Amino acid sequence: MSHTLDLLDIQANVLRAYGRFGYPKARYVFLNIRHAARARSFVAAITARVTTAVAWGTGADEVPAPPWTVNIAFTYQGLKELELPRSSLIGFSAEFVEGMKHRKDMLGDDGVSAPEHWDPIWRENRETRDKDVHIFISLNAQAPQPTSADLAGIQQALAQSESNLQQAYAWLQSIIAASAGGVMVLGGHRGDQGALLDYQDVAVVLENGLPTAKEHFGYTDGIGDPVFEGVPYEAARVRGRGKQMADGSWAALATGEFLLGHIDEAHEYPPAPRPVLLSRNGTYMVYRKLHENVASFDRYLQQEGAKYPGGAELLAAKFVGRWRDNGAPLVSAPDHAKKQEFDAAFAAADPQQRDRMLSDFSYDDDMSGAKCPFSAHMRRINPRASLQMGREAGDLPGSLKTMSGAFDTPGALSNRRRILRRGLPYGKVVDRSRDDGNHGIVIMMLNADIKRQFEFIQQQWINYGNDFKAANDKEILLGNHSSDPHLASKAVLQVDPAGDEAPYLLANIPRFVETRGGEYFFIPSLTALRMIARGIVDPT
């Protein structure tokens, strides 16, 4: 590690996926600015309580984990309302200025995912000034260590988390009231049975009353979050989460891929607004509410699983690249026999070894996609340096291999597309035979360049297959599959080119996930927040 970041200057949600740190519940609140000076006072009051990325614990340079956290971010419209100088505003990226709704064609938000079907708060955003989303506040609530390991003890800890969340929300309401109309809460989040709420609640999914790291389709989420320079990670976390090097080792990614004001993988500073103190240690956040069609998912899985060699559960693993029960990667456990071996080793491993078994792998031995399909979710989101592939004369049909010499590093095509993933599931699945419930996931993706990172992944890797030599195959779970039978989606599940099996064709893939809204935000550093609150952003 060449340097250490100033963790006191970085908001905690940039470095910390709260759900994995004992915070199973959260509430997201969105505000509209009605008076600039009072809104700046509101920002000052929030800043005094913002949770920073400083290490939690009992050590000399650590602080105790708080019972609830608070973080803040702004849309471009919000920064305008706070009266940042124009010479600073013009330094923000074009896509941030334009906003998610107007990037729908780029993102594939069409059909049932089009903005006219979004939750009212997002549908009305950027239509009239009083409905514009300006400020994002997140409150994450801690569940204390259970007093006993049984169900009753865990339920008590979850109840305390709910109590912490209500305490946090009461605090926020008091700050909003103290702004004397400077900021107003924007409602319009769809809840159960069509109710419209003033906030978006999210929480971990429970199985038999116990918290899990899964979403509503049953997959474990957030295992391979990237690591980058300047953060004091344990060395073992870098393997599988950083970037692959030419000698087979792993290294943390450049800080500038995720934080403005730092060198990125191109050895440059990412474009950022001036002054430097406004942008340094800040980042962009992509907020997306994604509804999950669990009935369509279950029905399609059972329909195809009845035909697929290996059955429905192996097919479910092919959709994502991991088995649903414990997250075992397909490249390590490509069939039922290998899965049994993996499970036995996994059961005997300690937590650190288990983490390594789930994250430390590459596609070097699966360049043809016979183990993990090219349209599997995690291979599309993070190809792990596997895109430098091709064929030579005489190679077996369907076979691909690493083509060396075209790039300096194995990950030249993927290291600049990484994103940090935050957020939690929302709602409960009440009836798995219906798609129209209130359940899905709120995902927040952090990156230094929305267009180069998030939008590229969404457009090129999720909704097209060119980089994976997969023609027009889309990513199976997140692709904007069409309901038009003349434009039906497919995905080819590859097999061993040297074997006798034929590739399996997934035909007529329905849309499993629908966009319900979202927006682009800027997460400032603590230094920038203080400048914004005092109205002293000076780009000269």
Residue 20: pLDDT above 70? Answer: yes
The per-residue pLDDT for 404 is: 74
Output the pLDDT for position 409.
75
Lowest mean pLDDT among 135-144, 145-154, 293-302, 505-514: 145-154
- CA dist 417 to 227, 347, 352, 373, 510, Å? 13, 34, 27, 19, 27
Taking Cα atoms as reference points, which of 56, 62, 47, 46 lies closest to residue 20? 56
The HSE-up count of residue 111 (CA atoms within 13 Å, CB side) is 13
Q: Say how far apart CA 371 and CA 373 lie, in whole Å.
A: 6
Amino acid 136: pLDDT: 98
Residue with tokens 């109205």: 535
* pLDDT at residue 19, rounded to an integer: 92
**At residue 408, does pLDDT exceed 80?**
no
- Across the chain, mean pLDDT equals 95
pLDDT of 506 strictly over 60: yes
Instruction: State residue 388's pLDDT score.
Output: 83
User: pLDDT confidence of 533, banded at 50, 70, 90?
Assistant: very high
pLDDT, residue 483, reads 87
Highest mean pLDDT range out of 180-194, 209-223, 384-398? 180-194
Question: What tokens does 460 get?
Answer: 């090129």
Average pLDDT over residues 321-347: 97
Contact 77, 98 (CB under 8 A): no
Q: Residue 2's pLDDT band (boundaries 50, 70, 90)?
A: low
pTM: 0.96
pLDDT at res. 385: 85
At residue 412, does pLDDT exceed 80? yes
270-324 residue pLDDT tens: 999 999 999 999 999 999 999 999 999 999 999 999 999 999 999 999 999 999 9
Q: Which are the contacts of 329, defined by CB distance < 8 A and separation ≥ 6? A: 321, 322, 358, 361, 372, 378
Neighbouring-strand partners of residue 200: 28
pLDDT higher than threshold 90 for residue 59: no
pLDDT in the model for residue 4:
87
3 state SS of 189: strand
Mean pLDDT value across residues 315-342: 97
Tokens read off for 143 = 């569940």
pLDDT band at 406 (very low <50, low <70, confident <90, very high): low
Q: What is the pLDDT of residue 413?
A: 87
What whole-number percentage of the chain has pLDDT above 90? 86
Condensed to tens digits (0 to 9), the pLDDT of residues 164-208 reads: 999 999 999 999 999 999 999 999 999 999 899 999 999 999 999
CA distances from 221 to 37, 134, 289, 296, 313 (A): 41, 29, 15, 20, 17
Rounded CA-CA distance 265/273 in Å is: 20
When pLDDT is cut at 50, 70 and 90, the band that residue 510 belongs to is very high
* CA dist., res. 373 & res. 468, Å (int): 10
Q: Can you list the alpha helix ranges (DSSP code H) found in 92-150?
A: 94-98, 104-107, 120-124
CB atoms near residue 16 (< 10 Å)? 21
User: Residue 441's beta-bridge partner residues?
Assistant: 290, 425
Distance CA 346, CA 357 (A): 8
Comparing CA positions, the residue from 5, 11, 1, 7 lying closest to residue 444 is: 11
CA proximity to 437, closest of 288, 297, 292: 292
Cβ–Cβ < 8 Å for 200, 426: yes
Angle between helices 36-47 and 151-178 (to 10 degrees): 150
